[in-house]
A and B are shown apart, each in its own frame.
Chain A
Amino acid sequence: MSKLVQVTTSVNGENVSRGVEPRTNLVDFVRYDLELTGSHVGCEHGVCGACTIRLNGNIVRGCLVLAVQADGGTVETIEGLSESGKISDLQDSFLSRNAGQCGSCTPGMLLTADALLEENKKPTRTEIREYISGNYCRCTGYEAIVDAIETTSKKRQGEG
């Protein structure tokens, strides 16, 4: 085991400081060291998107960032975004449209959808499908998720 490195970071608005092995990735740090298990691990090679998390305001693959790289920065997970209410309309749309089945991809999908709607307030269905094309879902066939994101964007634009 190599020497621990001290990581001081703000996670969902709470300052944490921990000694971590350099090889610990951000999603494992968040899940095991901080016990925030809402972010999931699906592949550990950056392809499935289950570990999507916000680092310094941008979505990243939690499995491809080392925990030590979050030092001095900010991390936001699904728990934080839920508690702040930032994505509550997305969550409501997902709930009423059944856009989550087993829930494995769901936190990553919500983080990604949240980032999409920040960048593009009125995405077409094609644009939605392209933006979430890095998030693997095995259960829904994606259509319900596209529907829910589209509904949310329309509601935000006041289109009912």
Chain B
Amino acid sequence: MKPAAFSYVKPATLGEALGLLSKHSGDAQILAGGQSLVPTLNMRLSAPDLLVDINGLDELSGVKLEGNHIRIGALTRHVDIENSSVIAEHCPLIALAMPHIAHPAIRNRGTFGGSIALADPAAELPACICALEAKIEVVGKGGERKIAAKDFFKNLFDTDLKDGEIVTAVEVPVVTPKTKLAFDELSRRHGDYAMAGLAVTAKMDDKKIENINICFFAISATPVLAEGAAKILNNGIMNDGSLKKAIEQLESDLDPLPDLYASSALKMHYAKELLKRNLGNWIS
């Protein structure tokens, strides 16, 4: 299908972009990578009057090490993150996730910020940044604010972004020598949206687990942190017993939503399986 007609503008500055979004509130949509927006336009699921193309806002692009965190510009393309040595060294969880995102032609255009702002329940990056305790930087007419990742994803395709706001960057803490991570997803075909996925970060100090974040994606409407399971594993040395308990705890932590190919029971089973497979080798 062809999209419904829309007007197009490519602002030269962030200020201009914000002004346009404010002026056309409700009728305008941001065009960044377009890899999720354009299909919805092509299917006429979405019909904005105006597209605001922010691809010219170079200041929103780039990966920078800033002390104990990395600042990932929202407009940074997936391919650039995939190839970034800074990410590989300081944020390996995201590096692990990147090859799972669709296919090369999509990654050449899709952006980090776009994935965060869209908040597809099956997307990898929202779950990664929740597990990483990242902060999302957002700019609007009212100024700039920072939102903790876990507070950003509210409901199905629904984030804390207010009308007229743009995600400008995500701040991700860097790894330390004590960081342990896991990333995994189950999908039927390479590059498909996941049927279930897992992103885990923790600090392991002399085998003792601290500050573990267990985040699932493609299970619910938003990425979901398994807080009960994390509590069981925190401040202890993982063994078969504690892992088993944590896996059982998922029955309370998670309330999976079924989709076309997976019942809630299957989703729950996959969540448990992912936790078992990926944390199983943390047991010494």
Contacts and interface: CB of A to CB of B under 8 A. Distances in A.
A88 B223 CA distance: 46
A117 interface: no
Given A1-B5, A22-B6, A64-B34, A44 B104 contact: no
B236 interface: no
A145 interface: no
A52 B8 CA distance: 24
Given A64-B38, A134-B106, A23 B3 contact: yes
A2 interface: yes
A35 interface: no
Interface in A108-148: 112, 115-116, 129-131, 133-134
A66 B105 contact: no
A135 B103 CA distance: 9
Interface string A24-40: 01001000000000000
B244 interface: no
- Secondary structure at the A interface, as helix, strand, loop or mixed, is mixed
A2 B6 CA distance: 7
B32 to A, nearest CB: 11
A46 B7 contact: no
Interface string B25-54: 000000100110011011100000001010
A5 B109 contact: no
Contacts of A45: 39, 42-43
B41 A65 contact: no
B191 A134 contact: yes
Interface string A65-92: 1101100000000000000000000000
B55 interface: yes
B1 interface: yes
Interface stretch (A10-18, A53-61, A95-103, A150-158): A53-61
B106 A61 contact: yes
Contacts of A69: 31, 34, 53, 55
A5 B31 CA distance: 16
Contacts of B79: 58
Given A46-B38, A64-B39, 4 more contacts: A2-B6, A25-B42, A112-B105, A115-B104
6 contacts: A1-B5, A2-B5, A23-B2, A28-B2, A133-B191, A134-B191
Interface of A: 1-3, 5, 21-23, 25, 28, 44-46, 49, 52, 58-61, 63-66, 68-69, 112, 115-116, 129-131, 133-134
